Amino acid sequence: MGLSICVLSFLIRVRPMSTDLLNFVEIYNEFTYLFCLYMSYYFTDFAETYMHQYEFGFFYIYFILLNLAVNLLVLISIVTKDGYLFI
């Protein structure tokens, strides 16, 4: 977890990517990874009941699907923008 926080602070301070959109995606992915890392504790005996673990599992899946959708939208926007410039 500490390494993820270090990478996140580096991405926020330095912004190493060439565009703001790519910097946003990297920061968003790192936040998602960190959130999923913290959520993994709920799949242990930390949760009160198995039903809570079940509900957290669905939330975990929805959160990852949201991340995939955002990354896919960014990918499509970059490809269509670059493809439009070459036509």
pLDDT in tens, 26-49: 999 999 999 999 888 888 888 788
pTM attached to this predicted model? 0.83
**Of 69, 63, 82, 67, the residue nearest 19 (C-alpha):** 82
Domain boundaries, the chain: 2-86
Residue range 3-25: mean pLDDT, rounded: 93
CA–CA dist 10, 42 (Å, integer): 28
Give the pLDDT of residue 85: 61
pLDDT of amino acid 25: 96
Q: What is the CA radius of gyration of the chain?
A: 17
